[in-house]
Amino acid sequence: MKMEFRDFNKISDYRWLLEKNKDRAMRVDAEIIASEDILKKAIEDASIQQVINVASLNGIIYRSLAMPDIHYGYGFCIGGVAAFPADSGIVLPGGVGYDINCGVRLISTEITLKEIIKHKESIGYLILNEIPTGLGSKKKFKFSKKDFLRIITDGAKEIIDNYSGLNQDLEYIESNGKLDFDSPGIISERAYERGRAQVGSLGSGNHFIEIQLIDEIFDEDSAEIFGLKKGNISIMIHTGSRGFGHQIASDYIERIRRKNINKIKIKDPQLIYAEISSNEGRNYLQALNAASNFAWANRHMIMEDVISIFEKFFKSSRKGLGINLVYDQAHNIAKFEDHVIDSEKRRVLVHRKGATRAFPSGHKDIPEKYRKTGQPVLIPGSMGTASYVLKGTKKAMELTFGSSAHGAGRRMSRHKAIKFSSNMNVREELKKKNILVFSHSNRGLKEEIPEAYKDIDEVIEVTEGSGISKKVARLIPLIVVKG
């Protein structure tokens, strides 16, 4: 059934509702948090059809949702959010994505622009040379299986205990950097093989380490609580669970398919699902937790390595440089959470694929320090544009299961981006904007040109306008190290 703009009911300038419709086999309504322009583009690129496919899934609660950075994925759209009953519902690996617990970490510093500006080149090269980046990047060492098991069981804490870091940082990582995992036997040898050499590596694609300038504060009180001061430098890390998570996702799509493909009716085979209470469902959720723990350990190790570079370069300690972890959050994950739906408190499994958790002030699952403000919501832009720090709101709890956007979202295919930038010296173009870019791959840089992404400012305007998060600070890139 063809989809048109007029099929949507406008709730407000930034909220659009598609009522459930038997002809589209929808079990619930679909809601898109978008401007009119973003919605029209989403209809064109077929990502709305993916939101509708999710709305047809068995047991889906409330609405099939899409965030302002919606774009076409496989199975779920990127920016998709959906919840199912924790006791009788389903779990979909396609609702999380292959890069399980891909996420963003933000670190504040007391280093000023003046102190870093002359050293941008040196710091960029040091990070590029010290942190494994790019295709199939691996650490110089491979963990033994015993040590690796500790990493996927204890997540970031294992890095702090046996590599480097501060215990106090755990509070500033979603779920304290660890989800319950105690079943090593449910993960394939292939996943272990791929993962053991990749802890502490950035990977390729849109993953990055960015040194940024905090250039605008929108909410002084919240920024102060987050430790963000105008004119200071921040560090942002974007990566996930690398080959370990990719292999787990592939393995479980296959295992669940083998069990269920002939039993269930789905519009897209990428939406294959298992009941949460089934062996396959339980095991996938356990494996997802292990991959999530890997990702938190990965981002923690990268952070520690970057801090070590800064300490050596500035000949000062992390305390002396005022380095603090602001927050670390996942944007590809499925988690059990409590939400109020139709005035009733329910335990649900929330799938966020390319969507960020945005819990409000007072929520028990956010750090004590942020209970007055709401949790930091980290939304990175492309390598030539600003990133934003927002805060979670009660509105997000009402509208989106406490979720928000996760980035700018691609608008150009990689192929088109390479063609578009064929005569462009990407490094030089960005240098003109005072951004130094470091990468082992010229092709990778061309694929990631800022023009390949949607306008981050529009995504932020919609995110704030809809009320699902509120702006706190803007960060502009100074040094970008790309995978």
Contact with other proteins (CB under 8 A) among 56, 108, 109, 204:
204
By the rule CB under 8 A, 40 interacts with other proteins: no
From 6-14, 155-163, 188-196, 219-227, span contacting other proteins (CB under 8 A):
188-196
Q: Which is nearer to other proteins, 47 or 64 (CB)?
A: 47
Name residues whose C-beta falls within 8 Å of residue 432's C-beta, 6 or more positions apart in sequence.
none
Contact with other proteins (CB under 8 A) among 233, 249, 285, 389:
249
- Six-digit token pair at 89? 């519902």
The string of DSSP codes covering 365-424 is TS-GGGTTT--EEEE---TTS-EEEEEE-HHHHHHSSSEE--S--B-S-HHHHHHHTTT-
The single residue of 207, 339, 363, 406 carrying the catalytic annotation is 406
By the rule CB under 8 A, 420 interacts with other proteins: no
From 16-24, 30-38, 110-118, 268-276, span contacting other proteins (CB under 8 A):
268-276
* CB burial of residue 405 (10 Å; 0-12, 13-18, 19+): buried
Assess contact for 69 and 407: CB atoms under 8 A: yes
From 32-40, 68-76, 300-308, 371-379, span contacting other proteins (CB under 8 A):
68-76
CB of 257 to other proteins, least distance (A): 7
By the rule CB under 8 A, 203 interacts with other proteins: yes
By the rule CB under 8 A, 37 interacts with other proteins: no
By the rule CB under 8 A, 136 interacts with other proteins: yes
Rounded to the nearest angstrom, the gap between the alpha carbon of residue 51 and the centroid of all alpha carbons in its chain is 19
* Cα–Cα distance, 283 to 266 (Å, whole number): 21
Contact with other proteins (CB under 8 A) among 71, 105, 178, 363:
71
Exposed e or buried b per residue across 171-202, where buried means at least 16 C-beta atoms within 10 angstroms of its C-beta: ebbbbbbbbebeeeebbbeebbebbbbbbbbb
Listed residue (468, 417, 14, 441) closest to 202, CA to CA: 441
By the rule CB under 8 A, 85 interacts with other proteins: no
By the rule CB under 8 A, 75 interacts with other proteins: yes
Listed residue (139, 99, 142) closest to 242, CA to CA: 99
By the rule CB under 8 A, 20 interacts with other proteins: no
By the rule CB under 8 A, 362 interacts with other proteins: no
Contact with other proteins (CB under 8 A) among 27, 40, 120, 257:
257
By the rule CB under 8 A, 258 interacts with other proteins: yes
Torsion of CA 90, 96, 99, 100, to 10 degrees: -60
If residue 26 lies in a helix (H) or strand (E), which one and from where to where? none
Beta bridge partners, 373, equal: none
By the rule CB under 8 A, 24 interacts with other proteins: no
Q: Which is nearer to other proteins, 102 or 307 (CB)?
A: 102
Assess contact for 27 and 57: CB atoms under 8 A: yes
Q: Which is nearer to other proteins, 241 or 283 (CB)?
A: 241
By the rule CB under 8 A, 68 interacts with other proteins: no
Contact with other proteins (CB under 8 A) among 59, 73, 85, 465:
73
Assess contact for 373 and 361: CB atoms under 8 A: yes
By the rule CB under 8 A, 99 interacts with other proteins: yes
Inter-CA distances, 31 with 17, 28, 37, Å? 5, 10, 15
By the rule CB under 8 A, 455 interacts with other proteins: no
By the rule CB under 8 A, 82 interacts with other proteins: no
CB of 410 to other proteins, least distance (A): 5
Assess contact for 391 and 470: CB atoms under 8 A: yes
By the rule CB under 8 A, 272 interacts with other proteins: yes
Segment 423 to 452, residues that bind other proteins, using CB under 8 A: 443
Backbone angles phi, psi at 213, to 5 degrees: -105, 130
From 7-15, 31-39, 241-249, 295-303, span contacting other proteins (CB under 8 A):
241-249
Q: Which is nearer to other proteins, 191 or 325 (CB)?
A: 191
CB of 209 to other proteins, least distance (A): 17
406 catalytic per annotation: yes
Identity of residue 27: R
Catalytic residues: 406
Residues that bind other proteins in the complex, under the rule CB under 8 A? 45, 71-75, 78, 97-99, 135-136, 190, 193-194, 203-205, 243, 246, 249-250, 253-254, 257-258, 261-262, 268-270, 272, 410-416, 443
